[in-house]
Each structure stands twice: as C-alpha cells, then as structure tokens.
Amino acid sequence: MISPSSRANRGWWDGNADDYQLEHGAFLRDDGFVWCPEGVDEADARLLGDVRGRRVLEIGCGAAQCARWLMGQGARVAAFDLSHRQLRHAQRIDLGGPAVPLVQADAEALPFAGESFELACSAFGALPFVADPLAVLREVRRVLVPGGRFVFSVSHPIRWAFPDDPGPRGLTSDRSYFDRSPYTEQNDDGSLGYVEHHRTMGDWVGLVVASGLAVTGLLEPEWPEGHERVWGGWSPLRGRQLPGTAIFSCART
Ligand SMILES: C[S@@+](CC[C@H](N)C(=O)[O-])C[C@H]1O[C@@H](n2cnc3c(N)ncnc32)[C@H](O)[C@@H]1O
C-alpha cells in the first residue's frame, strides 16, 4: 500500500513536472547525468565507475536524463519514477536512440526480481521524499547482486537548519539540525500536498548500514568557481559557505 508521503508526492510531481522540466531541463541536458545543483557531472566524476555492459537501475528518474546518458555509455538500464507526468517527459525526449525502459513505481516497493542489477543510482530521486528510507535501501540491496553498488544524492542534511532561501536569509540558522519533523505543504482541501523528510548525516549512515549496504564514500561537492546558476535554495552565495548536496556511495558486500 502506498504511504501518505508517496501519495502526496505523486500528486505534487504530477502537477509540477512540466514546470520542473521547463526550469531545469536545459541544465540537466536530455542525455546528461547531473548529480546535483552544483553541477557534478557523472561524465567527469565517474562515481559509478565503468558502466559499459552493466545492468543499472535509476531510481526516481524524472525525465530519465541520467538513464539516457548511461545507455549512451553502453549500460543496460531500467528507470522508474513515482510520477506519471515525469515519465511522460521521459517518453517525450527522443534523441533517436533506443527508448529508455521505464516503469511507474514507488521506491518503497520495487517491481524487480532480486539480484537483477550491478549498479543503482539516484539523483535526488525518491530518497528525500519517502517516509521509510530504510525500506527503499533494503529494496535496493535486494535488487543488487552481491558486490553491486548504489550511489545516491540528497540535499545535504545541514541545509535543514537554515531557511531554504538562496539569498542572505539562507545563511542564518533558524531551526535545529536535529529536528526530524518533515517539511509539508497542504492542498486547498487540507490534505497533504507535498512532503520532504529530513535525516541527519548520522541518520543516513545508520540507515545505509541497517539496510545491509556499506557506505564506501561520501562526496560533499564544493560550489564551482564561476557557477552562477540558482536552483531553489542553492546559490553561489550559500554554496560558498555551506554544502548543499551529499552524494553517498554504497556497496552490497
Ligand atoms: C528532484 S526530482 C529528481 C528527478 C531526476 N532524478 C532529476 O535529476 O531530475 C525527484 C523525483 O523523485 C520522484 N519520486 C519522489 N518520490 C518517489 C518515490 N517514492 N518513488 C519513486 N520516485 C519518487 C519524483 O516523482 C521526481 O521525479
């Protein structure tokens, strides 16, 4: 059964997918693999290593830009997202190559057989939004082969303690880093319209370990010199002072 968080977020992403792709599509590039607003590009970072011939699962794929890049590198890819409208954008982008295999699914219950993939990846897909990230991590472990790896990016936990504002207001902490109450928005009828959940850095490490995966790396990308693009609360001003993204590398031992 779908959780209240996932039900709310499915509606939100269906309603906002068009705006998201309009605003960020050019930065993400139709066949680019951008991990975060800081612009870390998998073509340079190679956090997944050599993907050629590997079976790779993209989690919370949006318009499947990353999946398209992976296919271009010779990976065998499946991609899924909770939002039908995001997947419509994934179908809309046609670069003349083979279509990305797409599934509509909730990351808390993966419709894939065990040990189906050597690699899994997620660029801000699903993990910041789910009420039960341990369920997602356990599902990822289940579908990975022994020795398989999972790399995922999320908002850096320290950002929770600050207003989500790209300007100077966003530089002064106004709440506790340790406050785990989720950020929520309501629909006009009072129902839950959007949810984002907060975990501390220690929570994330604990969750990965509890799922049976091991943390093998953590990248806190620095704001690149000359990068001026503002994305929500991410900006050059804040990026110079505070990390905005955490990228965890994990392995199934
Ligand atoms: C910030 S977007 C990132 C999309 C894409 N990875 C990118 O970089 O543009 C977050 C995505 O996660 C998806 N998502 C949210 N909750 C999810 C869940 N429980 N299962 C699968 N996808 C989910 C949303 O529909 C949305 O497409």
Residue 21 lies in a domain: no
Q: Which residues line ligand 1 (CB under 6 A)?
A: 6, 9, 13, 28, 60-62, 81-83, 86, 106-107, 123-126, 129-130
Residue 109 lies in a domain: yes
**pLDDT above 90 (res 1):** no
Question: What would the two tokens of residue 177 be?
Answer: 């880093």
For the segment 126-154, what is each residue's pLDDT rounded down to a tens digit?
Answer: 999 999 999 999 999 999 999 999 999 99
Q: Could you give the number of structural domains in the chain?
A: 1
Residue 159 lies in a domain: yes
CATH number of the domain at 100, please: 3.40.50.150
Q: Residue 103 Cα, ligand 1 centroid: separation in angstroms?
A: 13
CA atoms within 13 A on the CB side of 124: 18
Residue 77 lies in a domain: yes
Treating both helix axes as pointing N-terminal to C-terminal, what angle do 84-92 and 4-28 enclose, rounded to 10 degrees? Answer: 20
Q: Given this model, what pLDDT does residue 38 score?
A: 98
Domain that holds residue 208: 4-16+32-252
Give me the amino acid identity at 92: R
The share of the chain scoring above pLDDT 70, in percent, equals 100
Residue 27 lies in a domain: no
